[in-house]
Structure 1
Amino acid sequence: MQSLISKPPNKKKHLNTPNSSNSYYLFFIAITAATFILFVFYSRQTDPRHICSTVGPLTPAQTIIADEFATSTIPLVTIFHYATAHDIPQQTKNEIRKPLDVLQSLGPCNFLVFGIGHDALMWDSFNPRGTTLFLEEDPKWTISSLRRFPILRAYTVRYNTRLMEANALLLSYKKNCGAVDGDDHPLKDDRRCRLALGEFPNEVYDRDWDVIMIDAPRGYFPSAPGRMAVIYSAAVMARGRKKAGVTHVFLHDVDRAIEKLYAEEFLCMKYRVGGVKKLWHFVIPPAVNVTDTAHGFCLNG
């Protein structure tokens, strides 16, 4: 690796002169600065589980649960956690039952979950031997969750939309979305379409997801990211599926206007197979032309 410190010109060393003292002092400052820069660079590349001291210590109860992962089987740890936890899953018992039935019928499968909530360990345990991946907008919450439940696979992701833009984005997507060149994933690196989540970790694009749970990001105040881009991108993933089968998409909080509006536009009511309270269930087949949005998603099938 090329040194970050430029080499000074060759000079004779005069150990007892003022200029020599200044040179050593400047050299020491340069070494310190370079070390700090390298530390910052590599710390940002580190797995969040190794830098989680920034979010504070775990409580005694949380520490016990985290330590159990080293010695106990996952189902037992899950039971232990929810038997002793004060926080309960965001969804109701009946809402949870629908995805559980699908995961049991498909398992092991690829399960993509938008959001890390108090139910994260539960969702992961419902897919034993499968791949369950969580995408969370809050880095501190991601780190905290990985400390508590080190078995989880999770990434912190960013969204560039705001709930207040939902109507405008819906009106403009046919013009700005869908024009993807090459054989790459139809979402990846798409910077023109603001509804396309194109800057996720490669693992998101490298798999066909059998089940997608949309329960994030935040969508209950105007400056929140909203779930517009997630709903659009989940529909693109399902339409672009390469292996046999269909994609099950579960959307939570459909009592809110934007979730319902975007579900009708992109997930398509003809693919809705059921729902319980605030949870809708869609079964979406792959499409022949994934990027064709000229007439809308639901008219093209």
Structure 2
Amino acid sequence: MPPQVPYCRPLLTTLAYSPFPPSSITHKYCLGTKGKRMNPGKNLIPLLVFILTTLSILRLLKLTIFTAPSRPFSSSPPPQQSPSLPFSSLPSPQHNACSPQACSNTPSHPLETSISPPKTSSANATTLTKKEFKFLLNLIKPKAPCNLLIFGLEPQYIKLSEINAGGITIFLEDDSNKIRAIKSKSKRTEIYKVEYSIPAKDAYKLLKYARQKPACAPRSGPLQVSKCKLALKNLPQEAYKHKWDVVVVDGPNGDTPDAPGRMSTIYTAGIIARAGNTTDVLVHDTDRTIEKWFSWEFLCDDNLVSSKGKLWNFRITGQSNSTRFCPAKKIVIE
């Protein structure tokens, strides 16, 4: 007969379901051995482990809840913040294809273009980066002396007039403070105060209007007497009488819905360029929807020859009898 092996079992099978406090359980009964008084500390160890484990789990859950990332914002800002909100339902332009340069800077589907939030400071809204400004300098240097027209006025642009010392440089600016702060030493540089009346929030309506009105076509007559709402008819006469080699669109700021947008300046630049021989039109802040869509509409992605950052360079050949800004695209289904 095998020897009787003493074994023990607790008075209660599961400590968690005991109706008594853990401290009251201090004895075991054993078969084959004499009853011995148990050490209370050994019974408390599992309970302490259970309590510490529970506290660790609760702490982990708390950290997870309070440090979880918030729901990402919508790609389109609320109406009161974005000057380009109406483009959320904008119909596709006359041409959907884009050049490699344009495609590298824009999403594959133009209707899903994310709209940049308004700049916090209008003073820095149109400042070119160092690379963008160098790109502009390298374009103008080989052409100088030339006829240079700039919508907008920033301190860095005065260097452009210095490089173009033998040519004609005209700045068109709507901010009186900028005009007073910047004084050019060049006799061939002229700064004019202009007024823009169309707010950025009206961009969608104006684009639909321009597509439907023959008065907004390229060969509809001189800008000064144009019946198109997008035409700038009150510029200084100097802006109309010259054929421009380079036109830079960097104004007005257009950084809030109620601020004047660049719809008219981009349209007017397109008309001016087609009245000359070959004109380079540069549009800044093309990360914004208005600048991007109006450039596609009136300067055409077929004419986009280069870009740097948010600065796009369109090269437009004038003296054309075309009644369309951009050639119609043929869609071939294979």
**1:229-287: per-residue Cα shift (whole Å, max 9, x none)?**
0000100011111xxx4100111000101100111111100000110111101100014
Q: Aligned equivalents of 2:268 and 2:293: distance in 1?
A: 15
Q: Which has the higher contact order (CA 8 A, sep 6+)?
A: 2
Which residue of the other structure, out of 253, 258, 261, is the alignment partner of 2:285?
253
Question: Are residues 127 and 189 of structure 1, via their aligned partners in 2, closer, same or farther at CA, if it must alter by over 3 Å?
Answer: same
Could you tell me which residue of structure 2 aligns to residue 267 of structure 1? 299
TM-score normalised per structure 2: 0.56
> Who is 1:189 aligned against?
225
Q: SS of the residue aligned with 2:252?
A: coil
Name the % identity.
Answer: 35
Tell me which amino acid in the other structure corresponds to 1:175: Q
Q: Indicate yes or no: 2:253 matched with 1:225.
A: no
Match of 1:128 among 148, 155, 165: 165
Deviation, 1:104, is: 1.5
AA at the equivalent of 1:223: D
Alignment partners' CA distance in 2, 1:252 and 1:204: 20
Once residues 107 and 179 of structure 1 are traced to their aligned partners in structure 2, the CA distance between those partners, rounded to angstroms, is 32
Per-residue deviation, 1:132: 0.6
Distance 2:239 2:301 in 1: 25
Alpha-carbon deviations, 1:180-227, whole Å to 9, x = none? 9xx99621132x311101111110000001001111101110011111
Residue number among 187, 212, 217 corresponding to 1:175 in the alignment: 212
- Judge conservation of contact 1:112–1:134 (CA < 8 Å) in 2: yes
> What is the Cα-based RMSD across aligned positions, in Å?
2.4
The aligned length equals 202
CA change 1:274–1:184 in 2 (3 A) is closer
Match of 1:138 among 142, 156, 175: 175
Deviation at 1:138, TM superposition (A): 1.4
Deviation at 1:177, TM superposition (A): 5.2
C-alpha contact (below 8 Å) 1:134/1:153 kept by paired residues: yes
Residue 179 of structure 1 deviates from its aligned partner by 6.4
Shift of the alpha carbon at 1:140? 3.2
Secondary structure of 1:105's counterpart equals: coil
Return the alpha-carbon distance in structure 1 between the equivalents of residues 291 and 192 of structure 2.
23
Kindly provide the amino acid, as one letter, of the partner of residue 204 in structure 1: A
Unmatched runs of 5 consecutive residues or more in structure 2: 1-123, 330-334
* Equivalent of residue 93 in structure 1, options 130, 140, 150: 130
Residue 298 in 1 paired to residue 333 in 2? Answer: no
Cα distance in 2, alignment partners of residues 90 and 179 from structure 1? 30
Q: How far does residue 135 in structure 1 lie from its aligned partner after superposition? A: 0.2
Q: Match for 1:171: what amino acid?
A: K
Q: How far, CA to CA, are the matches of 2:214 and 2:246 in structure 1?
A: 24
Structure 2 counterpart of 1:284, from 297, 311, 316? 316
Amino acid at match of 2:279: T
Tell me the distance in 1 between the aligned counterparts of 2:170 and 2:151.
8
d(CA) in 2 for partners of 1:279 and 1:298? Answer: 20
Q: From 139, 143, 148, give the equivalent of 1:106.
A: 143
- Report 1:46-65 matches (<5 A): none
CA distance in 1, matches of 2:215, 2:304: 23
Amino acid in the other structure paired with 2:307: G
Question: 2:223 is matched by which residue type in structure 1?
Answer: L
Shift of 1:142: 1.5
Query: Conserved in 2, the CA contact under 8 Å of 1:95 and 1:276?
Result: yes
Larger helix proportion of the pair: 1
Give the TM-score taking structure 1 as reference length.
0.62
1:113/1:103 CA distance change after superposition, 3 Å: same
Secondary structure (helix, strand or coil) at the match of 1:289 reads coil
Query: 2:91 maps to which residue?
Result: none
Q: Which amino acid aligns with 1:186?
A: P
Letter in 2 for 1:139: S
Tell me, in whole angstroms, the C-alpha distance in 1 between the residues paired with 2:245 and 2:231: 19
Match of 1:64 in 2: none
Partner deviation per Cα, 1:132-161 (whole Å, 9 max, x = no partner): 100001123223323xx3434110011121
Residue pair 2:249, 2:266 contacting (<8 A) in 1 also: yes
Contact 1:186 1:240 in 2 (8 A): no
Matched position secondary structure for 1:248? strand
Alignment of 1:236-251 (within 5 A): 236-241=271-276, 245-251=277-283
Cα gap change, 1:175 to 1:194, in 2 (>3 Å): same
Contact 2:214 2:220 in 1 (8 A): no
